[in-house]
Copies of this chain bind each other. A is one copy, B any other.
Amino acid sequence: MRVDLGNALDDVASPGVARADLDSLDERVADAHERIADGRANDEHGYAALNLPDTVDPDAIRSAVEPFADADAVLTVGIGGSALGAATLANALESDVDAYFLDNVDPEHVRTLLDDVSLADAAVNVVSRSGTTAETLANFLVVRDAMDAAGVDWTERTFVTTGEEGNLRDLADRHDLPALAVPEGVPGRFSALSTVGLACAAIQGHDLDAILAGASDGADSLDGSLFESPAYAYGAVSYALDERGAAVNAMMPYAESLETFAEWFAQLWAESLGKDGVGQTPARALGATDQHSQLQLYRAGPRDKMVSLVRPVERDDRAIPETDLPGLEYLGGSSLGELLDAEFEATEASLAAAGRPNVRVEIDRVDERSLGELLYGMEAACVLAGELYGVDTFVQPAVEWGKRAARGLLGGGDFEEADAVADKRTLTVE
Q: Which residues of A contact B (CB under 8 A)?
A: 1-9, 11-12, 79-81, 84, 94, 103-112, 131-132, 134-135, 137-139, 141-142, 144-145, 167, 171, 188-189, 226-230, 233, 247-248, 254-257, 263, 266-267, 270-271, 273-279, 281-284, 286-289, 291-305, 315-318, 320-321, 323, 325-328, 330-332, 334-340, 342-343, 345-350, 352-354, 366, 396-399, 401-403, 405-407, 409-413, 417-418, 420-421, 424-430
Contacts and interface: CB of A to CB of B under 8 A. Distances in A.
A325 B131 CA distance: 9
30 contacts: A4-B426, A5-B428, A5-B429, A6-B428, A8-B427, A9-B427, A81-B292, A107-B316, A109-B255, A131-B325, A134-B331, A138-B320, A141-B331, A188-B292, A248-B281, A248-B283, A266-B293, A270-B297, A271-B297, A274-B296, A281-B301, A283-B283, A295-B398, A295-B402, A299-B398, A330-B410, A338-B410, A346-B418, A348-B421, A349-B402
B257 A108 contact: yes
A237 B296 CA distance: 23
Contact of A292 (B4, B80, B318): B80
Contacts of A291: 80, 399, 402
B405 A349 contact: yes
Contact of A274 (B188, B271, B300, B407): B300
Given A105-B340, A109-B257, A167-B325, 14 more contacts: A8-B427, A9-B427, A79-B292, A107-B318, A107-B340, A141-B331, A167-B326, A266-B294, A274-B301, A281-B297, A300-B397, A345-B406, A346-B409, A349-B424
Contacts of A270: 293-294, 296-297, 301
Contacts of A104: 256, 286-289, 340
Contacts of A396: 296
Most buried by B among A110, A188, A410, A426: A410
A282 B283 CA distance: 8
A323 B137 CA distance: 10
Contacts of A427: 4-6, 8-9
B353 A401 contact: yes
Contacts of A189: 293
A274 B293 CA distance: 10
A293 B80 contact: yes
Contacts of A335: 107
Contacts of A348: 421, 424
B293 A336 contact: no
